[in-house]
Amino acid sequence: MTFNNKVRQTERLAQKSVESLYAEWDGEKFSRVFEPEKSLPFQTENAYRDFRAHISGDDFSCVGAKAALNGDILRLGFYNRMNAPETNAVLAHDLRIFAAEQKESPSNYASFAAIFAAPIVENEKAWENSLWTQLENLHALDGGSIWDSSVSSDPEDVNFSFSFAETGFFIVGLYPNSSRLARRFSRTTMVFNPHAQFDRLREIQQYERLQKTIRMRELKLQGSLNPNLSDFGTQSEARQYSGRAVEENWKCPFHAQMREMKKSPE
């Protein structure tokens, strides 16, 4: 995928003030999207290779992520400590680039994986709290944007989706001790999937087949489905983000600031 010259120039200038490790897989190796000639740190490249191996393996049930790796768009970012101020700034920068890429050249299978070196999370509730705190921090840095109107900003609404840079995202949380085998990875990770791609898949009647395949793989892997899984439009997707089997009366800790909604194109 290529940006137009204006977008590239803008992001190159941003790179000078933000130490970003925003990278892509080119079929042979990982490289920085905007500065491919500049090598990635050893720890970062190891994390990216581990993630690639994880989603390529049989223990990862999401075929959409596999498609992103094998032919569409997979972007990665590596950050020292989840929810640290410097992490919030760089992650916001990288996610804004990813959103711009998707607007420039939409894909049906695109994912951005934010991988964190620390902290080591002790249990699923702590992981869930960290994930939602990270989303709150991103939201706080998105003050110049308005909420994507194709999704709801209310986490209790069945049409809810997290929005950043005027783009709705479905979040998949991975962490080492997840009770769901498909959500286990050696490092805490948040995968951002553009919500619009699911709408496009529904339009071409591929979404239901994708969903069925993922659930069949989940059953084969673990012998049961995550109780939070639901069909589109029947339950808020917020319940699925962390991977924890949340209680029936669970309340999402995220609260969106009141902002104007992004108008849908006519």
Residue pLDDT, tens place only, 40-78: 999 999 999 999 888 877 766 565 565 666 665 889 999
The Cα–Cα gap between 228 and 89 comes to: 31
**Measuring CA to CA, which residue among 145, 173, 148, 181 is closest to residue 237?**
173
Q: What local confidence, expressed as pLDDT, does residue 62 receive? A: 60
Closest CA to 112 of 80, 79, 74, 139: 74
- pLDDT at position 168, please? 95
Every domain of the chain and the residues it spans = 5-262
Kindly tell me if the per-residue pLDDT of 162 is higher than 80: yes
111-143 confidence digits (pLDDT tens): 899 999 998 888 999 999 999 999 999 999 998
Answer whether residue 107 shows pLDDT above 90.
Answer: no
Answer whether residue 144 shows pLDDT above 80: no
Q: By percentage, how much of the chain surpasses pLDDT 70?
A: 73
In whole angstroms, give the CA distance from residue 237 to residue 122: 24
- Between strands 189-194 and 167-174, the pairing is antiparallel
Residue 199 has pLDDT above 90, yes or no: no
In the predicted structure, residue 153 carries a pLDDT above the cut 60: yes
Across the chain, mean pLDDT equals 81
CB 214 within 8 A of CB 183: no
Beta bridge partners of 173: 190
Q: Which amino acid is at 42?
A: F
Residues 47, 76: Cα–Cα separation, whole Å = 10
Which range among 3-7, 40-44, 245-249 shows the weakest confidence by mean pLDDT? 3-7
pLDDT tens digits for range 23-35? 998 778 899 998 8
Which residues touch 234 (CB under 8 Å, ≥6 apart)?
A: 158
- Higher-scoring residue by pLDDT: 113, 7: 113
Is residue 5 predicted with pLDDT exceeding 60? no
Q: Does 225 have pLDDT greater than 80?
A: no
pLDDT score at 212: 66
Tell me the pairing of strands 162-164 and 147-148. unpaired
The predicted structure's pLDDT at residue 102: 86
Q: Please tell me the predicted confidence (pLDDT) of residue 180.
A: 82
240 close to 224: Cβ distance less than 8 angstroms: no
**pLDDT of 206 over the 90 cut:** no
Confidence check: pLDDT of 11 > 60:
no
pLDDT for res 259: 56
Bond prior to 155 in cis (omega within 30° of 0):
no
Confidence band of 245 (pLDDT split at 50, 70, 90)? confident
Give the pLDDT mean for 1-7: 42
HEC string of 3-54 equals CCHHHHHHHHHHHHHCCCCCEEECCCCEEECCCCCCCCCHHHHHHHHHHHHH
